[in-house]
Amino acid sequence: MSLIRYTRPNAREISRSFNELMNEFFEPMTSRVEAGFTPRVDISENEHSFTFQVELPGVKKEDIQVELEKGILRVHGVRKDELEEQGMQVLRMERFYGSFDRSFHLPDGLDEENIQAQYENGVLRLSLSKQEKALKKQIQIH
């Protein structure tokens, strides 16, 4: 077993560490990252449909596009930085802004003509019904 000598930090070191922390917190941002973000998605299925719930907090409905082509469901758009548009100086930014894009390969047998889309409280809900021929049939055993 080896012993390690513990030295107690002096008040000057503690003060310097605290000041560095506060300077970092209140330092104006010099570079803005608009790399975009990846919204979280829950996908569920029941006997008659598939449901996609996409988290898009802070995104306006008119900034969202939903497309379905060749069995691929695509949700894309942009979340705009309203603080910058208002001319405010940003001191700290932890949320991501910019464009987003999610795509999903859909299984065969969905009614692609009748997609229902609702947007409420920052959650986009998409429902796709299964076609009659894709529904499971219960076979009676005699």
- Domains of the chain, each with CATH number or no CATH: 29-133 (2.60.40.790)
Q: Using the 8-state DSSP alphabet, how is residue 86 labeled?
A: T
CA distance 109 to 116: 16
Mean of pLDDT values over 12-32: 60
pTM beyond 0.75: the answer is: no
Tokens of 135: 């529904």
Q: Which pairing describes strands 98-105 and 72-79: parallel, antiparallel, or unpaired?
A: antiparallel
User: How would residue 34 be classed by pLDDT, with cut points 50, 70 and 90?
Assistant: very low
Q: Which residues lie across from 103 on neighbouring strands?
A: 74
